[in-house]
Amino acid sequence: MKNFTTLQWKGDIDGCLELTDQRKLPAQFITIQCKTPEQLFDAIKTLAVRGAPAIGVAAAFGICLAAQQLDKSKLSDAVRRIEQQADFLSKSRPTAVNLFWALERMKKTAHDFAAENPGAAIDDLRQCLLTEARKIYAQDVQMCHNIGINGEEFVPVGGSVLTHCNAGALATAGDGTALAPIFEAQRKGKKFKVYVDETRPLLQGARLTAWELQQAGIDTTLICDNMAGALMKDGKINAVFVGADRIAANGDAANKIGTYSISVLAKEHKIPFYVAAPSSTFDLKLQNGSQIPIEQRPAEEIACFMNVQIAPPNVNVYNPAFDVTPAENITAIITEKGVIRCPTEEKIRQIIV
């Protein structure tokens, strides 16, 4: 469905990570290249690359960038350096668990390689890490495809879907999570409409999701965040599709701020509310959503718009990037492994583990 690449590795072990700069969309479509872990850290922190799966894939390639700095280190020293750089990248954003999942996987790859090949050259380790990062990328593409297949049945023929934030191709290596069923429904010839929440304060819905859906030729209408309830009351919304950045063992799901409010509105109006996310987004170590760390973003994101101050100077600002939707508000969680209806810890473990 897409005619762009959100992120890709250019070259071999001495290559770099190329990203679509999402800070510039939709006015400009440009790419940036990250050649060091520090550059990637900044790209993640400032949302040049965003979306839980995409952050995880980018972080995996970030370890490949870190490995370029190893030079002629001893293998044991190289593994320690990889661990340090993984810990550094993990501090870029705290909520999306895919980031930590990918970094742990890359650390394990480095450890296993060193244990099994004690006399290997550093370039062999670098090649091993790049191979693993490419596997994570390919698995993310396949994950999106499977979520689309599993969730397509929930896109109502002749109806309307509401989305919040961006969980499309720009948030993954593939077609997306929450948007994947929508793209798959279009492939199958379904006719439907999508309402897109603008998603304050950074307008990921207006800037990114609306742009993606237009690129795909899908009937798209942009609305302000505070219009969703009125549309539901008027019978204009038949289903809600959102992504997730971390899902606790009981099914509580953290997603972009405002998602919880939509879930309450959907429940009140008896509208199905679907969360689409890969198995890597589940954090089964956390019993419930109260344990999910919520990122606090800079005050300027709310107090300013397009570099213009729109709030009184020095006003107090509260700017959490995410909120948590309780499992009881979720009709189903759509994963690449299957659909978890009315999610509970028992049902989640049957599918995910």
Catalytic residues: 245
- DSSP codes, 168-189: BGGGSSSSBSSSHHHHHHHHTT
Take residue 286 and report the two structure tokens written for it: 């956390």
Q: How far apart are CA 232 and CA 286, in angstroms?
A: 33
173: nearest Cα among 317, 7, 336, 29: 7
DSSP 295: P
Q: Within 13 Å and on the Cβ side, how many CA atoms surround 113?
A: 25
How is 103-121 classified by DSSP, letter by letter? HHHHHHHHHHHHHH-TT--
- What's the burial of 235, exposed, middle or buried (CB within 10 Å: 0-12/13-18/19+)? exposed
CA distance 173 to 39: 19
Taking a C-beta distance cutoff of 8 angstroms, is the pair 152, 184 a contact?
A: yes
DSSP β-bridge partners for residue 31: 20
The residue type of 287 is Q
Q: Compute the half-sphere exposure of residue 148: CA atoms within 13 Å on the CB side of its CA.
A: 23
3-state secondary structure of 263: helix
Q: Which residues contact 234 (CB under 8 A, 6 or more apart)?
A: none
If one counts every other C-beta atom within 10 angstroms of the C-beta of residue 14, the result is: 11
- Under 8 Å between Cβ of 274 and 151: yes
The C-alpha atoms of residue 93 and residue 277 are separated, in whole angstroms, by 18
